[in-house]
A and B are shown apart, each in its own frame.
Chain A
Amino acid sequence: MERKKGLPSYPGSRSLYVLLTIFIVIEASAIILQAIFLARSVTFLFQGSAVSAIVQELLLFMLFFVMRHVLSHVQQLLAERFAVRTTKALREQLTSAYFKLGPRFAQVNGTGRLVTLAIEGIDQIKTYLEITIPRMIRTFIIPAVLAIYIFTLDKTSSVILIATVPIIIIFMILLGMAAQKTADAQYKTYRVLSNHFIDTLKGLETLTYLGKSEEHEGKIASVSKRYRKATMKTLRIAFLSSFALDFFTSLSIAFVAVSLGFRLIEGAAMLLPALTILVLAPEYFLPIRQVGTDYHATLDGQIALEQVEAIIQEQEFTEKPVIQSAIEWGPTSKIVFHELTVNKDDENEPILNSLHFSWEGNGIIGIVGESGAGKSTFIDIIAGFLQPASGTIEVNEEQTTSLMRPDWTTQIAYIPQHPYIFPTSIKENIRFYEPTATEEEVKRVIEEVGLDSLISQLPNKLDEQIGEGGRPLSGGQEQRIAMARALLSKRPIIILDEPTAHLDIETEYKLKQSMLRLFEGKLVFLATHRIHWMKEMDHLIVLKNGHLVANGTHKELLNREHSYKELIRHNTGRGGAL
């Protein structure tokens, strides 16, 4: 996975880094002073002073001790404030990018992934910004300042401490590589083992129907055991790197103590500086040790940052159509699609290839073809969810590169196979396009789409909660809610993508009658496999491999187009002669 490396740059980041650096230098000085006064207290007592004589030393120790912690919190606060400000802006940009890139983008990238990225991903970025940034700067400054000060007290100790760092780094790299190697070697088995449990749970229903769910209980235990053994094998090596960190830092401190001891015996060193160094030695290693602990948080944050920025950039690079005059659809309007082409990311063959089509006034237009012919892509372009790679669209006098423009999208009602039902009341769901509609208007459309019998059975009538967590609706009822929404908004254009194929035949039959009433006096685009719709269409567009291969009425096409006949034969689901 790609990740964003180095210190990130955002508004205010530079001044934050400068400020942090200053505070960290002061903090390092406070750490030194605190150590000095602690060492002085101890040394004076050791040399026979009374406790009352060192009160000043003790208080100064306390002062600098408090000061260093206050400074460290101030750095944290600064970093947190910056992180909140930055991630708030990022989240805002990201969410509005989702809206600008449209439903097609959401579909391709996975709704769940996008939501997770905007919430968890952004939180990971926040953690990364508020923890990693101060720590990265600290790791450079604090050990450096301490090492320099220790150098002025005792060269040998300073050399020992400084020399330890490259040793630690070399070992960490070596061990990290070894850990990676073992992890890689068993990555596949490991992944299967770790996902086995959730895979089994998801397949529990299937296992039950196969009569095998009881047998599988033993398997859970044995696979979990293998999982544990495999994990422990990896951990034994993975933990070695923190072991090395512990080992070398504490050994280094021990060496410093022992070498100081020798030189004290020889009279080559004094107790006070020796003690100061001993207090400072663990402080010297502390920032280095902390870097290791947040490795994963940092990695997650960097990956999320890279993804978020990529999406925001994609949105910025998406060309917006220039609106010269607002489009308004009416009975005498005209729409022309010129040479529309849409490319697939990974293949040479375009999904839509130089599609040309024009239509005047209202009417029902069917879009048909085998799966993969480009029906949904064409629907997405008409609905303003997708920008064609090339070609133009002309509505009335207005020439435009895409229909991703508010003056168009506010004139259409889009009804997909599974309309989204918002987790709110029926009333609010129906009023979604027209929040100001009165209850009477809502009741009228409910009657028109045939929802009245359902609603009269509900305890809360129009205020019944539906959608996620509310009363579940059948597929046909969902479609009717979407139709009511469209009807209430009086939109002149309705776009439907396979609205009835998933319904049972009786529901489909009734729903179709309601839909046909809804279509009256409107421009309708309907993509479907179901052949019973074909007769109802004023005009049909037949797509094949991204090309428009034929268009005309059902009757015309039946008489002259072999490809259409073939399509109808397949779609009757009988394969026999027509």
Chain B
Amino acid sequence: MNTWIRPYVKEHKGRMLLTVLLGVLGIGSSAMLLFLSGYLISRSALRPENIMIVYVPIVAVRAFSISQAVMRYLERLVGHDVILRVLEKMRTRLYGVLRPQAIFFQSRYKTGDLLSVLSEDIEHLQDFYLRTVFPSVLSLFIYGVFIGVLGLFDWVFAVLMALVLAVIVFFIPFISLKVTRRKFIALKKGRKKLYEQLTDAVFGLSDWIASGRVASFLTNYKNDEHDLLETEKKLKRWQHIRSGMIQFCIGIAVMIMISWTGNQVNAGQLEPTLIAAFTLMMLAITDALSPTSEAVERLPAYEDSLRRLTEIENAEIPAEARFKNVQDLRQDGGVAIELRNVSYRYPESSENVIHNLSLTVDAGKKIAVLGRSGTGKSTLLKLLTGALQPTTGNVLIAGEQANQNLLATSISILNQKSHLFNTTVENNIRIGRPEATDTEVASVVGQAQLTKLVASIPLGLQTPMEEMGHRFSGGERQRIAFARVLLQQTPIIIFDEPTIGLDPKTENDLLQTMFTASKEKTVIWVTHHLAGVEQMDEIIFLEDGNIALQGNHEELLATSSKYRALYEMDRGE
């Protein structure tokens, strides 16, 4: 069994057993309700002189009718409570698993919604308990108890009944699992294909229309859908056959129950009043056993979720460890960042992404980093933040080997798309440093040029990010994220293309805000075009993992024809 199931079953054994037990009591009550009803009217039909003879059954019938409902209600409550407890544990665990990998998500998984998928997987596993484990264990329990009780009367008959009912509890579920597994997989595949095709169609809508191939797409799509529907039909057909077989077994079981009681009565072994009682009870018992197949059949549905969870847990994380002795690397305070002959190679690759790069940034200096995609910009940032450790060479932040503990104390980062949490503006800003005073918050709000905006919305800083009726624009959202970063008061700040996707005017305004607010700080600014680079102390172009061009704006303009050409284009000259 999987590690995403076993520990939770063990941990919540008690509550899970209680759920099943309540289920057994519920079904037991409804069986007893019918048993006693049958007994009651049979006994009454004998017209006893004294009504007190049937008094106990009368009270008991009512009691069981009530307890049946109460037990079922309690069973559902306890069952949901226990799976929510399991969910609690699983969520914490998944978070723990994902946490060290967080920085690598983007490069590792193309599909951004992997996270939603994983979170859904965990919720999906709730069904495993509610719709598969509890019902199957419950019906096993009922089966055992029922056969045991019959054994008290007549063990031969008990064995016979055990065999007949085994068809419902064991044989058909087993066959059903075998038969449906392949169909379920085919169904899933077919649905996935339909999804892909339709996503293709809708994302590539303009291309399909322009290509004049809409009709051929629709025909293809229809054919695939047809295949899927055929599989679905076969699956449904099996489900009809299956439940037909189960019903047939139930009919047989009822018949032999009647015959047995009849024979027992004739032989004087059983009171005649019990014939109706046993027969009616039989209906309640078989009702409880018949959902077993459906519960077991669902097993393949959990496999994908379990596989994904196990995979993500076993994913290798690029090593962060391997601290060299930090002490002897310390230097005096003038230098904020130093890279000494740094190379980095991803474990699975044979080529260096960063190749023998050296760079010194004095405290308070502002550096712009440019480069085409794939030249190592993002790897460089990961090295600076300590998310990656260089294969050779040293990355020093204020004299200390770069590591993730420096985040929030020495270095802070404003990303392309910082996540803003679904809470108030103030909480979002405070996440950076929860213990900050109100004055400090007000001050960073001012520095991020948010004061006017905050004053204009009714709830001010208490406005939730996702409030209906007010949506923050891209520029405003980045300013909130920037205020959050400023609140950390780190001496070094990294801007990772924070203005991408904004229109030029908004971009320009945001850049000015950023530069003004970080006047005293050391700044590393990754950017994709040249707006604002004149204000930098140094501009670096990366190429093939090393610095291809370096200097301030005037120097580069004077010495590099490439820079001149790019700059002219950027200005539109």
Contact = CB atoms under 8 A, between A and B. Distances in A.
A8 interface: no
Contact of A99 (B87, B106, B214, B236): B214
A423 interface: yes
Contact of A509 (B66, B92, B211, B569): B569
Given A247-B69, A409-B212, A503-B528, 13 more contacts: A42-B276, A50-B262, A73-B240, A91-B225, A99-B214, A102-B209, A106-B202, A115-B195, A196-B422, A201-B98, A205-B103, A212-B431, A227-B84
B569 A532 contact: yes
Contacts of A207: 102, 419, 431
B61 A197 contact: no
| Residue from B99, B106, B529 having most chain A Cβ neighbours under 10 A | B529
B254 A38 contact: yes
Given A115-B202, A469-B110, A504-B371, A38 B209 contact: no
Contacts of B208: 99
B37 A254 contact: yes
Interface in B266-287: 266, 272-273, 275-276, 279-280, 283
Interface stretch (B115-123, B156-164, B389-397): B115-123
A92 B198 CA distance: 12
Interface residues of A, number: 145
Contact of A119 (B111, B116, B198, B501): B198
B272 A432 contact: no
B210 A507 contact: no
8 contacts: A98-B201, A115-B199, A201-B115, A202-B116, A232-B77, A232-B84, A246-B73, A573-B511
Contact of A574 (B54, B211, B420, B531): B531
User: Which 10 pairs across A and B sit closest by C-beta, in order of nearness?
Assistant: A211-B408, A573-B531, A531-B572, A203-B419, A264-B44, A257-B37, A246-B69, A247-B69, A211-B407, A254-B65
A317 interface: no
B226 to A, nearest CB: 8
B15 interface: no
B247 interface: yes
A192 interface: yes
Interface in A176-208: 192, 195-208
B205 A98 contact: yes
B446 interface: no
Given A198-B119, A503-B528, A572-B571, A61 B272 contact: no
A558 B202 CA distance: 41
B280 A192 contact: no
Contacts of A270: 45
Contacts of B505: 370-371, 570-571
B207 A414 contact: yes
Nearest to A232: B81
Interface extent on B, as a size class?
35 or more
A209 interface: yes
Interface string A229-258: 001100110011011001100110110011
A115 B210 CA distance: 20
A102 B205 contact: yes
B88 A204 contact: no
| Residue from A118, A264, A472, A489 having most chain B Cβ neighbours under 10 A | A264
B418 A206 contact: yes
A385 B210 CA distance: 10
A199 B244 CA distance: 46
A573 B69 CA distance: 71
Given A208-B102, A250-B33, A98 B503 contact: no
Given A227-B84, A228-B81, A529-B504, A251 B66 contact: yes
A111 B92 contact: no
Contacts of B133: none
B102 A119 contact: no
Contact of A433 (B118, B210, B529): B210
Contact of A96 (B218, B254, B261, B503): B218
Interface stretch (B302-310, B329-337, B409-417, B513-521): B409-417
B47 interface: yes
**B interface SS class:** helix
A251 B65 contact: yes
Given A115-B198, A239-B73, A568-B572, A257 B40 contact: yes
A114 B207 CA distance: 17
Given A76-B240, A246-B68, A414-B210, A45 B265 contact: yes
Contacts of A77: 240
A485 B385 CA distance: 41
Given A88-B225, A208-B404, A103 B206 contact: yes
A484 interface: no
Contacts of B259: 51, 58
Nearest to B567: A505
A534 B218 contact: no
A459 to B, nearest CB: 14
A450 B393 CA distance: 36
A279 B282 CA distance: 11
A347 interface: no
A271 B77 CA distance: 40
B101 to A, nearest CB: 9
A426 interface: no
A213 B87 contact: no
B84 A282 contact: no
B179 interface: no
Contacts of A384: 209
Given A209-B385, A251-B62, A414-B207, A221 B45 contact: no
B44 A474 contact: no
A416 interface: yes
A119 B195 contact: yes
Nearest to B464: A192
A574 B570 CA distance: 11
B272 A46 contact: yes
Nearest to B104: A205
Contact of A211 (B116, B266, B409, B504): B409
Contacts of A413: 210
B370 A99 contact: no
B200 interface: yes
A265 interface: yes
B386 to A, nearest CB: 10
Contact of B370 (A197, A505, A575): A505
A321 interface: no
A73 B407 CA distance: 64
A62 interface: yes
Contact of B198 (A118, A214, A250): A118
A239 B73 CA distance: 7
Interface in A532-569: 532-535, 568
Contacts of B99: 204, 208, 213-214, 217
B96 interface: yes
| Residue from A195, A409, A469 having most chain B Cβ neighbours under 10 A | A409
A119 B194 CA distance: 8
Contacts of A118: 198
A418 to B, nearest CB: 10
